[in-house]
């Protein structure tokens, strides 16, 4: 497809250590020639934080790994943006084969806490619940949690020499539940937390990107409960700082994508983020192209398979190991040509 926008981005998971060479080659020989100029790298806790080694996630990237990724991106004029997830997605289960991250689940289960809540169980919004739905969240009233989060942001932006960070904040289903948080509305909790992160990042002359699903309502938009909020958090859209870039993701096929218009009317810059299904991708991107009010910065393709898995499929034609890798790869091949 031809895009009228300057930024062509892709989200990749932080490579597993045995696949980092493949991912570097993939950036250099596959993504760069196809005009990708932004990579958002899903790190979460998969970095060897020096200040907080207690939060290290699965197979964390080393300082040298990050510099190698940064070098190949710089050589190709690709902006590299680290990504964390700074409200929800704090627990889950690994995919098989693993992509290094923990994924949400649709039943109440005794799941695995990710780095931050494993190290600091008191930061958990549901610290006393053994089984929870989907994924745990950070308690947004916890001052100590905020202190650690800010230190992680600083270290990650420093090592990536980044002028932007993607803070996730998608699919937050567990919010406003503890005694302190329940005194506030979900939208207020959500907006205050994100605004304070944004203020912190701005002080270091950085920019914040986040997912947009909690800022739009299922009722108003017709989107499902993953792509939009059904618990009232969407009112946060009116309280959030307008200098945050919203990544508007949709994976299903709809006649209209009203979020594209909603974010424009509220004064946000957005990136449009499709996934693996080619028909949905086309419907979404065509709607965005036809309804761009000058507020769309670009496309941010999502993948959610291991970056090494995708690299080996697209570089060498190897069979993808995860159930969706083949479809993701095929859609990328068709959509992003040299």
Question: Which residues of this protein are in contact with Zn ion, per CB under 5 A?
Answer: 125, 139, 141, 178, 181
- Contact of 210 with 166, CB cutoff 8 Å: yes
Q: How far is the CB of 189 from Zn ion (least distance, A)?
A: 8
Residue 138 CB, shortest distance to Zn ion, in Å, is 8
CB of 168 to Zn ion, least distance (A): 18
Closest contact distance (angstroms) between CB of 180 and Zn ion is 5
Nearer to Zn ion, 139 or 216 (CB): 139
- Helix, strand, coil shares of the chain, percent, nearest 5, are 40, 20, 40
CA distance 154 to 50: 11
Q: Which is nearer to Zn ion, 46 or 136 (CB)?
A: 136
Report, in Å, the least distance between residue 128 CB and Zn ion: 12
Whether the CB-CB separation of 174 and 133 falls below 8 Å is answered with yes
Q: By C-beta, is 143 or 338 nearer to Zn ion?
A: 143
Question: Residue 19 or residue 171: which is nearer to Zn ion going by CB?
Answer: 171
Q: Compare residues 159 and 189 and give the one whose CB is closer to Zn ion.
A: 189
Nearer to Zn ion, 132 or 228 (CB): 132
Q: Look at residues 16, 210, 17, 44 and name the one whose alpha carbon lies nearest to residue 113.
A: 44
For residue 229, list its beta bridge partners: 217
The alpha carbon of 158 is separated from its chain's Cα centroid by a whole number of angstroms, namely: 19
Q: How far is the CB of 141 from Zn ion (least distance, A)?
A: 4
- For 128, residues 6+ apart whose C-beta sits below 8 A from its C-beta are none
Residue 166's DSSP bridge partners are: 83, 209
The CA distance from 181 to 69, in Å, is 39
Neighbouring-strand partners of residue 10? 39, 301
Nearest by Cα to 11 from 335, 316, 328: 328
In this structure, what are the phi and psi dihedrals at residue 114, rounded to the nearest 5 degrees? -80, 180
**At closest approach, how far in Å is the CB of 117 from Zn ion?**
13
Tallying the residues shown for the chain, one arrives at 338
Q: How many CB atoms lie within 10 A of CB 247?
A: 26
Q: Find the shortest distance in angstroms from Cβ 178 to Zn ion.
A: 3
| CA 226, 228, 231, 236 torsion-angle sign | positive
Cα–Cα dist 257/227, whole Å: 11
Taking the least distance from each CB to Zn ion, the nearer of 65 and 125 is 125
- Which of 43/178 has CB closer to Zn ion? 178
d(CA 5, CA 290): 12
b/e map of 254-276 (b: 16 or more CB within 10 Å)? beebbbbebbbeeebbbbbbbbb
Q: Supply the minimum distance, in Å, between the C-beta of residue 236 and Zn ion.
A: 16
Quick one: 190 or 251, whose CB is closer to Zn ion? Answer: 190
């Amino acid at each position: 497809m031809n895009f009228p926008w300057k930024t062509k981005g892709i989200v990749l998971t932080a490579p597993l250590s045995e696949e980092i060479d493949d991912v570097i080659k993939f950036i250099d020989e596959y993504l760069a020639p196809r005009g990708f100029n932004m990579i958002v790298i899903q790190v979460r806790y998969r970095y060897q934080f020096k200040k907080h080694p207690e939060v290290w996630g699965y197979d964390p990237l080393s300082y040298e790994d990050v510099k190698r990724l940064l070098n190949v991106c710089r050589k190709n004029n690709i902006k590299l943006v680290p990504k964390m997830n700074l409200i929800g997605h704090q627990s889950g289960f690994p995919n098989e084969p693993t992509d290094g991250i923990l994924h949400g689940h649709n039943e109440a289960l005794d799941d695995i806490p990710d780095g931050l809540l494993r190290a600091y169980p008191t930061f958990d919004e549901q610290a006393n619940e053994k089984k929870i739905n989907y994924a745990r969240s950070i308690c947004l009233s916890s001052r100590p949690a905020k202190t650690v989060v800010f230190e992680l942001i600083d270290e990650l932006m420093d090592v990536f020499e980044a002028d932007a960070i993607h803070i996730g904040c998608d699919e937050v289903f567990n919010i406003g539940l503890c005694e302190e948080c329940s005194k506030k509305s979900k939208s207020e909790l959500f907006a205050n937390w994100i605004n304070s992160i944004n203020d912190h990042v701005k002080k270091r002359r950085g920019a914040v990107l986040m997912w947009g699903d909690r800022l739009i309502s299922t009722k108003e938009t017709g989107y499902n409960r993953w792509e939009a909020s059904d618990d009232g958090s969407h009112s946060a859209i009116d309280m959030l700082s307008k200098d945050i870039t919203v990544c508007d993701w949709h994976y299903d096929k709809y006649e209209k994508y009203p979020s594209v218009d909603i974010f424009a009317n509220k004064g946000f810059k957005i990136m449009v983020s499709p996934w693996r299904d080619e028909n949905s991708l086309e419907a979404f991107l065509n709607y965005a192209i036809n309804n761009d009010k000058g507020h769309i910065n670009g496309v941010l393709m999502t993948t959610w398979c291991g970056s090494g898995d995708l690299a080996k499929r697209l570089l060498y034609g190897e069979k993808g190991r995860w159930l969706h890798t083949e479809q993701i790869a095929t859609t990328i091949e068709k959509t992003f040509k040299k």
